[in-house]
Amino acid sequence: MLDRFDLRILNLLKDNSEISLSDIGKRIGIFSPSAVSKRIHELKDQGYIKKYVALLDFEKMGYDFLTITFIKTRYEKNYARIVGEKLQKLPNVVAVYFILGDIDFIMFTINRNRKEYLTTMETLTAMEEIERSDSRVVAYTLKDIGFDNINLLDDMNHMADEHLTKSQ
Q: What is the DSSP string of the chain?
A: ---HHHHHHHHHHHH-TT--HHHHHHHHT---HHHHHHHHHHHHHTTS---------TTTTT--EEEEEEEEE---TTHHHHHHHHHHTSTTEEEEEE-SSS--EEEEEEESSHHHHHHHHHHHHH-TTEEEEEEEE-S--SS-S--TT--HHHHHHHHHHHHHHHH-
**168 occurs within a structural domain:** no
User: Whole-prediction pTM value?
Assistant: 0.78
- Residue where a domain stops, chosen among 11, 31, 54: 54
Taking only the tens place, the pLDDT of each residue in 119-138 is 999 999 999 999 999 999 99
**146 occurs within a structural domain:** no
Q: What would the mean pLDDT of 54-63 be, rounded to a whole number?
A: 90
- Mean pLDDT for the chain overall: 90
**59 occurs within a structural domain:** no
Taking only the tens place, the pLDDT of each residue in 145-159 is 777 788 888 756 555
Residue ranges making up the domain that contains 127: 65-137
**pLDDT surpasses 90 at 164:** no
Give the pLDDT confidence score for residue 162 in this predicted structure. Answer: 56
Taking only the tens place, the pLDDT of each residue in 17-40 is 999 999 999 999 998 999 999 999
Give the pLDDT confidence score for residue 66 in this predicted structure. Answer: 96
